[in-house]
């Protein structure tokens, strides 16, 4: 008969029971993680976790929690970026209805960037709440708020109907949407990374960031499907509202999915150990200033290159090739959907070679290939050629998406300040290099006539990212040696 040890753990809220088949000497500190270590030799212990849960959310097996966390993280992130990117996708259509007169391209990009101004404040608030009271509740709140404000945008009357109040309300809703989105992506990556085992952490985190690209893909795809049944006049008059209104049922679905989650494993452990900070922001500034700077620089690199592809190029191509607008939407959506698979492929490579090594390679490739890709995108008159070059740029973005977010969260910050540190750093970089850069680049291109300016920008932010990666080490003890 097999020799079993039984362990029970009570932390005031949770009873965790494990049956462990003993085949070696084991360390006494299991810390609720399902880990078994050999004392002075190889281990072949078999662990079965019967239950794990907290008073905040349902009780789930570890395996079920891992799957549900990854799916819920990806779904919420997809919703965030769908809601945010339909603004950029449809901006050229509805901008004249709210901002009559003026340069439609600059107005579309400017109103797109407005939402990013509030993101650091949202990240600051979400990070503090997440580090103080838990990740799960914050991620539920962000989804509900984002969906509500996006739906209201689809219901707004136009300038012709209510005058100046129309653009004012649009900008206010965009700001509120940015405030609520400040903790979404980085909070979801934090939650998923903390809820996954070491061997699955890179892939699970990459699945969450895949949601951002999927959201950007859904925006032109939904827009193209709506446009199939409408002529140009109807699409510009009221058809643009439909993608916004779809946020309501999508939000309801993601809410139900996240409502079923338990709290993250590492935050639960921090509560059990008494290491949760009463003032996480104070501890962050006092003890982790260098980590904040590193994460900010990495965010500048990731968001700077990413938003060239996701925000600047689609608007620029739509303005350059207006007669190819319908084809570009389909090609753009197809390229983004393919990119989702590429991200997961790179994540699998990262489990072998190390996520930080692949990230450094990706930043180096951006520095080399940005100029030729941008030259094609800014000179071609073919939607097919433009889409191929666009996909090439997105492959490089995918390499960053598969690797960088785990570094910005788990590698750089300990659990007690992780949400705050990552959210503040990420959103500051997001505003500087993501929300505002497309607008500034567009203005610079129009002022100078130099279409290669986006490539110069991509090279510059890639160098910033490489510098900030110097000396960064993976937090996992069992991580690939290259990291």
Q: Which residue in the block uniquely carries the two structure tokens 């949770």?
A: 14
Q: Compare 216 and 1 and report the one with higher pLDDT.
A: 216
Mean pLDDT of 282-289: 92
Residue 102 or residue 437, greater confidence: 437
What is the rounded CA–CA span in Å between residue 251 and residue 141? 11
287 vs 53 pLDDT, higher one: 287
pLDDT given at position 8: 44
Q: DSSP letter string over 278-292?
A: SSHHHHHHHH-HHHH
**What digits encode the pLDDT tens for the residues 83-139?**
877 887 787 788 888 888 766 666 666 776 677 788 899 999 999 999 999 999 999
Identify the bridge partners of residue 19 per DSSP, sorted by sequence position: 6, 48
Q: How far is CA 278 from CA 130, 131, 300, 320, 416, in A?
A: 12, 9, 30, 53, 10
Position 258 pLDDT exceeds 70: yes
How much is the average pLDDT of 390-419?
Answer: 91
Q: Are 378 and 158 in contact (CB under 8 A)?
A: no
Mean pLDDT, residues 426-437 taken together = 85
Cα(275)–Cα(263) distance, rounded to whole angstroms? 16
Mean pLDDT of 462-469: 94
Provide the pLDDT for residue 3. Answer: 44
Tens of pLDDT, residue by residue over 36-50, are 333 333 333 333 343
Residue-averaged pLDDT of the chain: 81
For the segment 342-399, what is each residue's pLDDT rounded down to a tens digit?
999 999 999 888 899 999 999 999 989 999 999 999 898 888 888 899 999 999 999 9
Of 37-51, 101-115, 156-170, 324-338, where does mean pLDDT reach its minimum?
37-51
**pLDDT at res. 15:** 44
**Residue 47 forms beta bridges with which residues?**
20
All domains in the chain, ordered by first residue: 4-51 (no CATH), 62-468 (1.20.1250.20)
Rg of the Cα trace of the chain?
Answer: 23
Q: What is the mean pLDDT of residues 318-347?
A: 83
The tokens of 283 are what? 């501890």
Q: What is the pLDDT of residue 45?
A: 37
CB-side neighbour CA atoms (13 Å) of 460? 10
The pLDDT, as a whole number, for residue 14 is: 43
Instruction: Give residue 24's pLDDT band: very low, low, confident or very high (50, 70, 90).
Output: very low
| pLDDT for residue 185 is more than 80 | yes
Read off the pLDDT of each residue in 335-347 and give the average, rounded to a whole number. Answer: 90
Give the residue with greater pLDDT, 23 vs 269. Answer: 269
Output the pLDDT for position 260: 84
Per-residue pLDDT averaged across 230-259, rounded?
Answer: 91
Model pTM? Answer: 0.79
């Amino acid at each position: 008969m097999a020799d079993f040890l039984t362990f029970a753990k009570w932390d005031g809220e949770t009873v965790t029971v494990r049956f462990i088949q003993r085949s070696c000497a084991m360390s006494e500190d299991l810390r609720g993680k399902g880990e078994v270590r050999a004392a002075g030799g190889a281990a072949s212990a078999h662990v079965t976790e019967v239950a794990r849960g907290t008073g905040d959310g349902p009780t789930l097996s570890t395996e079920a929690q891992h799957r549900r966390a990854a799916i819920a993280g990806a779904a919420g992130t997809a919703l965030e970026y769908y809601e945010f990117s339909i603004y950029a996708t449809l901006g050229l259509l509805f901008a004249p209805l709210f901002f009559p007169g003026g340069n439609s391209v600059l107005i579309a990009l400017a109103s797109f960037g407005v939402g990013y101004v509030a993101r650091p404040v949202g990240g600051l608030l979400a990070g503090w709440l997440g580090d103080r009271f838990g990740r799960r509740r914050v991620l539920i709140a962000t989804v509900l708020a984002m969906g509500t404000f996006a739906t209201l945008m689809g219901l707004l009357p136009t300038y012709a109907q209510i005058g100046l109040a129309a653009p004012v309300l649009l900008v206010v809703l965009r700001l509120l949407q940015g405030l609520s989105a400040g903790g979404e992506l980085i909070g979801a990556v934090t939650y998923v990374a903390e809820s996954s085992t070491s061997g699955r952490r890179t892939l699970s985190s990459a699945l969450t960031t895949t949601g951002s690209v999927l959201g950007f893909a859904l925006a032109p795809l939904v827009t193209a499907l709506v446009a199939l049944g409408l002529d140009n006049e109807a699409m510009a008059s009221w058809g643009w509202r439909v993608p916004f209104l779809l946020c309501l049922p999508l939000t309801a679905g993601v809410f139900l999915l996240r409502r079923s989650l338990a709290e993250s494993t590492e935050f639960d452990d921090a509560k059990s150990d008494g290491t949760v900070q009463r003032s996480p922001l104070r501890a962050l500034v006092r003890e982790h200033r260098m980590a904040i700077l590193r994460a900010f620089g990495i965010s500048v690199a990731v968001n700077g290159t990413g938003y060239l592809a996701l925000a600047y190029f689609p608007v620029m191509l739509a303005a350059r090739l207006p007669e190819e607008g319908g084809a570009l939407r389909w090609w753009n959506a197809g390229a983004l959907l393919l990119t989702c698979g590429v991200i997961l492929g790179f994540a699998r490579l990262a489990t072998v070679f190390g996520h930080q090594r692949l990230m450094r390679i990706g930043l180096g490739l951006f520095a080399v290939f940005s100029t030729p890709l941008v030259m094609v995108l800014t000179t071609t008159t073919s939607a097919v050629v433009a889409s191929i070059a666009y996909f090439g740029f997105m492959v490089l973005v995918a390499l960053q998406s598969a690797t960088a977010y785990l570094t910005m969260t788990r590698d750089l910050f300990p659990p007690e300040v992780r949400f705050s540190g990552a959210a503040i750093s990420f959103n500051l970089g997001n505003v500087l290099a993501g929300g505002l850069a497309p607008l500034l680049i567009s203005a610079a291109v129009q002022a100078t006539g130099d279409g290669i300016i986006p490539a110069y920008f991509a090279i510059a932010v890639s160098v910033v990212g490489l510098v900030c990666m110097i000396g960064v080490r993976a937090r996992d003890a069992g991580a690939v040696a290259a990291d």
